[in-house]
Amino acid sequence: MTALLSLIQWLSPAFPTGGYAYSHGLEQAVVDGSLTDAPSLRHWLEDILTHGSGRQDAILLACALRPDADHDALTDLATALASSAERAHETLAQGAALAQTVAALTGRTLKPRPLPVALGQAASPLNLPAPQVIALYLHAFASNLIQCMVRFVPLGQTEGQATLTALHPLIQSLAQTLSTATTVDLAASTFGAEMAAMRHETLQPRIFKT
Protein backbone atom coordinates (compact mmCIF):
# COMPACT_ATOMS: atom_id res chain seq x y z
CA MET A 1 0.00 0.00 0.00
CA THR A 2 2.87 2.40 0.77
CA ALA A 3 4.24 2.00 -2.77
CA LEU A 4 0.86 2.73 -4.33
CA LEU A 5 0.38 5.78 -2.13
CA SER A 6 3.81 7.06 -3.18
CA LEU A 7 2.89 6.75 -6.86
CA ILE A 8 -0.45 8.48 -6.30
CA GLN A 9 1.39 11.29 -4.53
CA TRP A 10 3.86 11.71 -7.40
CA LEU A 11 1.00 11.95 -9.91
CA SER A 12 -1.14 14.23 -7.76
CA PRO A 13 -1.86 17.81 -8.94
CA ALA A 14 -0.26 18.91 -5.64
CA PHE A 15 3.09 17.37 -6.60
CA PRO A 16 5.40 20.18 -7.83
CA THR A 17 5.80 19.18 -11.47
CA GLY A 18 3.92 22.28 -12.63
CA GLY A 19 1.52 20.28 -14.78
CA TYR A 20 -1.23 22.89 -14.33
CA ALA A 21 0.80 25.33 -16.48
CA TYR A 22 0.73 23.14 -19.60
CA SER A 23 -2.27 22.65 -21.91
CA HIS A 24 -0.56 20.29 -24.40
CA GLY A 25 -1.84 22.44 -27.27
CA LEU A 26 -5.43 22.49 -26.01
CA GLU A 27 -5.38 26.27 -25.61
CA GLN A 28 -4.70 26.70 -29.32
CA ALA A 29 -7.44 24.20 -30.19
CA VAL A 30 -9.91 26.17 -28.07
CA VAL A 31 -8.90 29.43 -29.76
CA ASP A 32 -9.34 27.76 -33.16
CA GLY A 33 -12.84 26.58 -32.20
CA SER A 34 -11.98 22.88 -32.41
CA LEU A 35 -12.77 22.36 -28.72
CA THR A 36 -15.93 23.98 -27.43
CA ASP A 37 -17.62 21.54 -25.04
CA ALA A 38 -17.36 18.25 -23.19
CA PRO A 39 -18.12 15.97 -26.19
CA SER A 40 -15.45 17.58 -28.37
CA LEU A 41 -12.94 17.40 -25.49
CA ARG A 42 -13.68 13.72 -24.91
CA HIS A 43 -13.15 12.94 -28.59
CA TRP A 44 -9.87 14.91 -28.60
CA LEU A 45 -8.57 13.11 -25.52
CA GLU A 46 -9.60 9.69 -26.82
CA ASP A 47 -7.55 10.33 -29.95
CA ILE A 48 -4.50 11.56 -28.01
CA LEU A 49 -4.62 8.58 -25.67
CA THR A 50 -5.17 6.02 -28.41
CA HIS A 51 -3.10 7.41 -31.28
CA GLY A 52 -1.00 10.30 -29.97
CA SER A 53 1.31 11.41 -27.21
CA GLY A 54 -0.67 9.56 -24.55
CA ARG A 55 0.05 6.26 -26.30
CA GLN A 56 3.72 7.15 -26.82
CA ASP A 57 4.16 8.17 -23.18
CA ALA A 58 2.53 4.93 -22.02
CA ILE A 59 4.95 2.86 -24.10
CA LEU A 60 7.97 4.84 -22.94
CA LEU A 61 6.79 4.45 -19.35
CA ALA A 62 6.33 0.70 -19.80
CA CYS A 63 9.87 0.41 -21.15
CA ALA A 64 11.32 2.58 -18.38
CA LEU A 65 9.69 0.43 -15.67
CA ARG A 66 11.53 -2.73 -16.69
CA PRO A 67 14.53 -3.92 -14.63
CA ASP A 68 16.81 -3.94 -17.67
CA ALA A 69 15.73 -0.51 -18.93
CA ASP A 70 18.37 1.73 -20.52
CA HIS A 71 17.08 5.03 -19.20
CA ASP A 72 19.68 7.10 -21.03
CA ALA A 73 18.68 5.61 -24.38
CA LEU A 74 14.98 6.07 -23.56
CA THR A 75 15.69 9.69 -22.62
CA ASP A 76 17.27 10.32 -26.02
CA LEU A 77 14.40 8.58 -27.79
CA ALA A 78 11.67 10.40 -25.86
CA THR A 79 13.34 13.75 -26.52
CA ALA A 80 13.67 12.98 -30.23
CA LEU A 81 9.98 11.99 -30.41
CA ALA A 82 8.82 15.41 -29.17
CA SER A 83 7.16 16.91 -32.24
CA SER A 84 7.63 20.57 -31.35
CA ALA A 85 9.59 22.88 -29.09
CA GLU A 86 6.68 23.20 -26.67
CA ARG A 87 6.13 19.43 -26.47
CA ALA A 88 9.84 18.99 -25.70
CA HIS A 89 9.77 21.71 -23.07
CA GLU A 90 6.62 20.27 -21.47
CA THR A 91 7.93 16.74 -21.03
CA LEU A 92 11.48 17.75 -20.09
CA ALA A 93 10.48 20.41 -17.55
CA GLN A 94 7.91 18.21 -15.83
CA GLY A 95 10.23 15.21 -15.86
CA ALA A 96 13.06 17.22 -14.33
CA ALA A 97 10.75 18.55 -11.61
CA LEU A 98 9.47 15.06 -10.82
CA ALA A 99 12.97 13.57 -10.67
CA GLN A 100 14.25 16.37 -8.44
CA THR A 101 11.37 16.10 -5.97
CA VAL A 102 11.35 12.29 -5.82
CA ALA A 103 15.13 12.36 -5.29
CA ALA A 104 14.69 14.81 -2.41
CA LEU A 105 12.02 12.59 -0.82
CA THR A 106 13.79 9.26 -1.28
CA GLY A 107 17.49 10.10 -1.19
CA ARG A 108 17.99 8.47 -4.58
CA THR A 109 19.98 10.00 -7.42
CA LEU A 110 17.66 10.63 -10.35
CA LYS A 111 18.65 12.48 -13.50
CA PRO A 112 16.35 14.96 -15.25
CA ARG A 113 14.52 13.06 -17.98
CA PRO A 114 11.34 13.35 -20.10
CA LEU A 115 8.33 12.82 -17.86
CA PRO A 116 7.37 9.19 -18.72
CA VAL A 117 10.99 8.06 -18.49
CA ALA A 118 11.55 9.95 -15.25
CA LEU A 119 8.44 8.38 -13.74
CA GLY A 120 9.38 4.91 -14.96
CA GLN A 121 12.83 5.14 -13.40
CA ALA A 122 11.44 6.56 -10.16
CA ALA A 123 8.60 4.02 -9.91
CA SER A 124 10.56 0.90 -10.89
CA PRO A 125 11.68 0.14 -7.31
CA LEU A 126 8.06 0.33 -6.12
CA ASN A 127 7.45 -3.03 -7.82
CA LEU A 128 3.90 -2.13 -8.76
CA PRO A 129 2.22 -3.87 -11.71
CA ALA A 130 3.06 -2.02 -14.93
CA PRO A 131 -0.61 -1.72 -16.03
CA GLN A 132 -1.42 -0.04 -12.72
CA VAL A 133 1.40 2.50 -13.06
CA ILE A 134 0.49 3.25 -16.68
CA ALA A 135 -3.21 3.59 -15.88
CA LEU A 136 -2.54 6.09 -13.10
CA TYR A 137 -0.17 8.04 -15.36
CA LEU A 138 -2.72 8.26 -18.19
CA HIS A 139 -5.44 9.16 -15.70
CA ALA A 140 -3.33 12.03 -14.36
CA PHE A 141 -2.48 13.11 -17.92
CA ALA A 142 -6.15 13.23 -18.95
CA SER A 143 -7.22 14.85 -15.68
CA ASN A 144 -4.73 17.68 -16.10
CA LEU A 145 -5.94 18.47 -19.63
CA ILE A 146 -9.56 18.38 -18.50
CA GLN A 147 -8.76 20.88 -15.75
CA CYS A 148 -7.17 23.12 -18.38
CA MET A 149 -10.48 23.09 -20.23
CA VAL A 150 -12.46 23.70 -17.04
CA ARG A 151 -10.44 26.85 -16.43
CA PHE A 152 -10.15 28.11 -19.99
CA VAL A 153 -13.39 27.37 -21.89
CA PRO A 154 -14.91 27.43 -19.21
CA LEU A 155 -16.18 23.89 -18.80
CA GLY A 156 -18.26 23.00 -15.75
CA GLN A 157 -16.60 20.95 -13.01
CA THR A 158 -19.30 18.27 -13.26
CA GLU A 159 -18.90 18.07 -17.04
CA GLY A 160 -15.16 17.77 -16.57
CA GLN A 161 -15.47 14.94 -14.09
CA ALA A 162 -18.03 13.17 -16.28
CA THR A 163 -15.57 13.36 -19.18
CA LEU A 164 -12.81 11.83 -17.05
CA THR A 165 -15.13 9.06 -15.85
CA ALA A 166 -16.07 8.26 -19.44
CA LEU A 167 -12.38 7.77 -20.25
CA HIS A 168 -11.80 5.19 -17.50
CA PRO A 169 -12.53 2.08 -19.63
CA LEU A 170 -10.22 3.31 -22.40
CA ILE A 171 -7.43 4.14 -19.94
CA GLN A 172 -7.72 0.71 -18.33
CA SER A 173 -7.66 -1.04 -21.70
CA LEU A 174 -4.67 0.94 -22.99
CA ALA A 175 -2.72 0.42 -19.78
CA GLN A 176 -3.18 -3.33 -20.00
CA THR A 177 -2.37 -3.56 -23.70
CA LEU A 178 0.63 -1.19 -23.72
CA SER A 179 2.25 -2.59 -20.57
CA THR A 180 4.04 -5.17 -22.71
CA ALA A 181 4.83 -2.85 -25.62
CA THR A 182 8.37 -2.02 -26.72
CA THR A 183 9.92 0.91 -28.57
CA VAL A 184 9.12 -0.90 -31.83
CA ASP A 185 5.45 -0.16 -31.12
CA LEU A 186 5.94 3.62 -30.91
CA ALA A 187 3.77 5.50 -33.40
CA ALA A 188 1.51 8.54 -33.51
CA SER A 189 -1.03 9.95 -35.96
CA THR A 190 -2.72 12.89 -34.22
CA PHE A 191 -1.69 15.57 -36.68
CA GLY A 192 -4.30 18.10 -35.54
CA ALA A 193 -3.04 18.01 -31.96
CA GLU A 194 0.58 18.25 -33.08
CA MET A 195 -0.14 21.24 -35.34
CA ALA A 196 -2.06 22.95 -32.54
CA ALA A 197 0.95 22.53 -30.25
CA MET A 198 3.27 24.00 -32.89
CA ARG A 199 1.03 26.99 -33.59
CA HIS A 200 0.62 27.66 -29.87
CA GLU A 201 4.30 28.65 -29.76
CA THR A 202 3.37 32.04 -31.25
CA LEU A 203 -0.12 32.47 -29.75
CA GLN A 204 -0.56 35.81 -27.98
CA PRO A 205 -1.96 36.42 -25.50
CA ARG A 206 -1.99 33.00 -23.85
CA ILE A 207 -2.55 31.47 -20.43
CA PHE A 208 -0.62 28.21 -20.65
CA LYS A 209 3.03 27.50 -21.46
CA THR A 210 2.06 24.91 -24.07
Q: How many CB atoms lie within 10 A of CB 43?
A: 12
pLDDT band at 209 (very low <50, low <70, confident <90, very high): confident
pLDDT digits (tens, 9 = 90+) for 83-108: 899 999 999 999 999 999 999 999 99
Which is higher by pLDDT, 191 or 76? 76
How far, in Å, CA of 66 to CA of 59, rounded? 11
Which pTM does this prediction carry?
0.96
DSSP structure class, residue 205 = S
Contact between 155 and 37 (Cβ < 8 Å): yes
